[in-house]
Amino acid sequence: MVINLKKLTIVLGMLFVNSPAFAHDHHAHGAPMTEVEQKAAAGVFDDANVRDRALTDWDGMWQSVYPYLVSGELDPVFRQKSKKDPGKRLRILRHIIAKDMRLMSRLSALKMAL
């Protein structure tokens, strides 16, 4: 019984000491985003807020759309685009975007290698 009590005390002590690590996902890191940044993160932004950037200026929050392209989740977007521009077919749009994503992936790998 004494051995089990010691083990229990050690385990409870470890859980108590490490409890902040388990509760770590309740907040964000870094400066909070402005309202404009929050809207941009949701995909709502003005064209005036978009500017060209150097490859070295790609720090910050971003997410690749490639997994959505591969899974087909972007197909409704491509269908909508093809309705607006009959010259753009779904298959062609997917091919162009996939090609661009592969190029961006290579550029990202080159940036990391430098």
In the prediction, which pLDDT does 101 show?
75
DSSP state of 57: G
Measured distance CA(111)–CA(51) in Å, rounded: 20
At 60-113, the pLDDT tens digits run 666 777 788 788 888 888 788 778 877 777 777 777 777 777 777 777 766 666
At 27-42, the pLDDT tens digits run 556 678 888 888 887 7
CA 21 to chain centre: 23
Q: Where are the domains of the chain?
A: 61-114
pTM of the model: 0.34
